Amino acid sequence: MFTVASTQLSARANVTASTSKISASSRVATASPKVSTTTISKVLEGKVVSRANDKTAIVLIERKVPHPRFIKRINKSKRFAVHDEENESNVGDIVEIKMCVPKSKTKKFELKAITKKAAA
């Protein structure tokens, strides 16, 4: 019985050694895929609701999503702090914003274009 157990252990060791050789050779053979350096920037459209701070606008983004249970479409909204370098947007304007490198703790978007000016 002792010999059977030792032969089983040696057989397992051989199998483990052969699989480790295979996996090591397969690791060398496979090349890593090239990583793209281009980034996709997220562009959103919303309405300016606040201009309290300098070079900052608060933009409200609204979207319609189906209710998970009742399927009726409901409105969801989110407010984003947007970097506006020239202070060109006013409350009520419809603007396009795009994702950028964080400018501060809350500002992760910057103003791309003013789609529609508010009636003055």
**Three-state DSSP class for 120?**
coil
Report the distance separating Cα 112 and Cα 100, nearest Å: 10
Report the chain's C-alpha Rg in angstroms. 29
Buried b (16+ CB within 10 A) or exposed e, 91-114: eebbbebebbeebeeebbbbbbeb
Number of domains in the chain: 1
Whether residue 27 is contained in a domain is answered as no
Tally of residues, the chain: 120
pLDDT tens, N- to C-terminus, the chain (120 residues): 455 555 555 555 555 555 555 544 445 555 556 655 666 778 999 999 999 999 999 999 999 999 999 999 999 999 999 999 999 999 999 999 999 999 999 999 999 999 999 987
Q: Which amino acid is at 64?
A: K
Domain of 94: which CATH number?
A: 2.40.50.140
In this prediction the pTM is 0.65
